[in-house]
Structure 1
Amino acid sequence: MIKKRTDVVTEEISKFQNNTQYRSNHKKDPGMFASTSTMDVSSVEFKSRAAERKNDINAVAKKDVITLPPTTTIMGVIKTMTSKGFRRVPIADAGTKRLEGIITSMDIVNFLGGGSKSLLVENYYKENLLAAINAGVSEIMQRDVAFVTSKASIADAVEMMIQRNTGGLPVVDEDNRVCAIFTERDFLDLMADTIDYDSIKDYMSTKVKTVPFDTTIEEAAKIMVSKGFRRLPIVKDGILIGIVTASNIMNFLGSGKAFEKMVTGNFHEAFSEPITSLITKDVIWASPEMDMGDAARLMIEKEVGSLPVIDNDVLCGIITERDFLRAVSSTYW
């Protein structure tokens, strides 16, 4: 469990402040360190800060939530998610704004050949991708939506996300109208400076599924859906060269690049490219000894949802936003 340290001697604070990696990546937060030998991030302070806000999901949920009607085409949804950088979009009635479903990047990957939703393309649209993406999103959206009301606490939302294995929850009012959305990233932003400094090795996932660099986009999509992974580390000659996410695959279609590979309109043509073509960022990684607070801030700074963990040039794990959710909730709530 994450330790609740209430007192840290001056020597330990000095070591932490002088850590070159921390200094190079993060500005000193005056709220993090006391002027004496006591660190100002303690279990007492955390509980006080959490207590102020934990009964109000509205304090942290995003109010400027975008919803789309169920008649929106699948391609229309993909373009919206790609342009806005969203992993999920609530689907709501165009007039009443009442929640009817949700669509995620993993649903799109499933639809694009990764899982059961791709049967819509294969059977009904005879593998014609152009025809399939013009179907209404109601064909593939999730109808059994995990959500919370605007009166829920943050603790309620976190518990729901863990139970339903989801990275985001629409927030609805008393009339079931979507008024906000709460995600794993919102939780990470909230907790980044209040997480105690235990090593990520205690919370990372050690069973990491990697794929070789010549894996096709379609093959990667199938692995993501069958294994339930939103991201896959890519290796070449035993070296980690990048990470591809479900959003990368979705954006490949949303950007129009997928259509450049098509000749007959068959969706297999569009996704026969090697997965390495989707790598867009240098690998941002962590060591097993990096503390949870530093890892959270690094993920926020670099705008990534996970960090591969490397020890002696060997990939030994991965820590994700979901891991932070579980770690903090199991300790404080």
Structure 2
Amino acid sequence: YTHATSPIRRYPDLVTQRILLAAALGHPGPYSPEELAATADHVNEHLDAERRAKAEFFKQRAHAETARQMETADFASLPYKQFARVLQFAVERGEAPAGLADDTARRLDARELQLREFASVYLYGGADFQPLRERMNRRLAREPQQAQSVLNVYLQDRLGGPVSNEANVRWTVEAEPAYEGPLFGAQVALVFDETRVESPKRLQRNKKDARNQAALALAAQLAGLPDLSSDAAAKPRADAPRKLLVDAAVNPAEAVQIYAARGVVDGLSWDFEVDGPSHERVFTCRGEGLLRSTGEHVAAEGRGPTKQAAKTAASLELRVVIEAGLALGETGSRSPA
């Protein structure tokens, strides 16, 4: 699909019409594939620059109006939408005018403060908001089911758009047979721009509570606030064997990371290379490390159209190698990790 109806004002339309005219006349195409790719890249770069410039213009105009409201407005009288703009501007600027933190606290107590504004103050608020942020932290500890939503806002800010639960949010939730009674452990990791931040493992009597407490721990970590998450009281089973194998349902990349966290693999590292033209790139990922039990070097490579796809392919092979090493350890050919 393409458009071709406005060659006077859209250069891509002119290119399309030249191609169609040549085909209709039985002439060779006027552009080689390389020339078309270069033209498309050039046009897209200029369109992106134009969109950014327009967005920046309107952003600056909105900021000017918000700054005016900050200097003159009675915050309590502002409609919520205007209040939210003022609050966001103050958080980004790193300082709040007198009265704004108090009115934000009032709206918090009245349950008027919405998620976007709650998360902005909680995660990024400066010194003027510090007492309020500590109150928010205690509120979140009482209502830990909200913590996952705060993490989602944090990711949206880092990605500049929608969050993929598959690519950006990695959960590990497993039964903990080493403890008496039903007990589940949960960890969450956020992945963005080659960065990975993860929570400590939290133990609870059911999966939902374990996930909430893990999310609460990570939210506090990202905000630089005290970790008020908790583990359920649990008594270790005297006869429980140490668990090494990761559940089969865990995705390969996450499984390899868990093996590193459990001390099965030391020095885990990932390297990426990219080949091919911009419109048809092929990424290669190489993962490697050392099996702690034997010192054996383990490595695997994977390829794909994206970094994530390449890492998943490499992880799939690396997981097999690691688990083969564990299996050999259990049969006595190697000492167990």
Scaled to the shorter chain, the TM-score interval is under 0.3
Q: As a proportion of its length, which structure holds more helix?
A: 2
TM-score normalised over the length of structure 2: 0.24
Bigger Cα Rg: 2
Structure with greater contact order relative to length (CA < 8 Å, sep ≥ 6): 1
